[in-house]
Amino acid sequence: MNELHDKTNRSLDGRTVLVTGANGGLGEQFVRQALERGARKVYAAARKPKGREDRRVEPLALDVTDSGAVARAVASAPDVDLLINNAAIAPGGDSISGPEDELRRIFETNFFGTLRVANAFIPVLGANGGGTMLNILSAAAWISVPTGYAASKAAMWSATNALRLQLLGQGTQVIGLLVGMVDTPTSARWEVPKVSAASVVAQAYDGVADGAIEILADEQTRGLKSQLSAKAEQFYPWLHEQLKFFVA
């Protein structure tokens, strides 16, 4: 149990949730399971939001790379007490040695965009009792996958930890969710073991309810965490064996 947060701040019953990237595999599950767990309202945010049958779901136009769109989202959703920063991109052919413009595009969404939304909603969460911020990260934040995506998630992992300390005073629960390959359209090009989106989201919401600050959503990520204290001379040969499908 996390002693930093009051028990009343851990339930989805009656909570108001905003999910970015709500049209995707994980995003859809975050919307669906929030309703199943008793959320009062869910803002389903996406660049091109789709219609929803459930009247508790409010589609919300949001491009996280557009500061004006983020400001409009804040004005439209002043009752949010659970912010889920899920929007991200993982382009095909992504390489850490790729064109600088492409790397900037990845960072603009995955790092600057996520941080832009997080910072914009800090006063909203504070006004609604502190609330919860859940940032969807990746096990790639801890490993040497040679992609802009991995680098952007490493940067956002650091920012998530910094936000947790910054927002302690207003009682905001800041959670980092780390996971390896999730079975969504984004990961379809990789023929590797994957965890279901439903399982990841269930663990995420369990973590919200339990007052967690870090959630490791699959066995691979939990195994990786256990190796991080190893000497670099031991860790990187081990890691290379695990990532042959990325670096071959």
* Mean pLDDT per 10-residue segment, the chain (248 residues): 40 93 94 96 97 95 98 98 96 93 98 98 98 96 89 98 98 96 61 81 95 93 87 78 52
Q: Quick one: pLDDT at residue 10?
A: 43
Q: How far apart are CA 70 and CA 121, in angstroms?
A: 9
Which among 135, 94, 145, 134 is positioned nearest to 247, based on CA atoms? 145
Block residue for tokens 């390959």? 181
Structure tokens at 240: 């290379």
Q: How far apart are CA 187 and CA 229, in angstroms?
A: 28
State the CATH architecture for 7-218. 3-Layer(aba) Sandwich (3.40)
Q: Quick one: pLDDT at residue 181?
A: 75
* DSSP letter assigned to residue 51: P
Q: Quick one: pLDDT at residue 171?
A: 97
Mind telling me the catalytic residues?
Answer: 149, 153
On the 0-12 / 13-18 / 19+ scale of CB atoms within 10 A, 110 is: buried
Q: Quick one: pLDDT at residue 243?
A: 64
Which among 224, 226, 229 is positioned nearest to 241, based on CA atoms? 224
**Domain spans of the chain, in order of start:** 7-218
Q: Quick one: pLDDT at residue 182?
A: 72
8 Å CB contact between 243 and 143: yes
Q: Quick one: pLDDT at residue 62?
A: 98
Q: Quick one: pLDDT at residue 232?
A: 85
pLDDT tens profile 41-97: 999 999 999 999 999 999 999 999 999 999 999 999 999 999 999 999 999 899 999
Q: Quick one: pLDDT at residue 246?
A: 44
Q: Quick one: pLDDT at residue 173?
A: 97
- Given 3-state DSSP classes, what are the helix, strand and coil percentages for the chain, each rounded to the nearest 5? 50, 15, 35
Q: What pTM was estimated for this model as a whole?
A: 0.89
Q: Quick one: pLDDT at residue 236?
A: 75
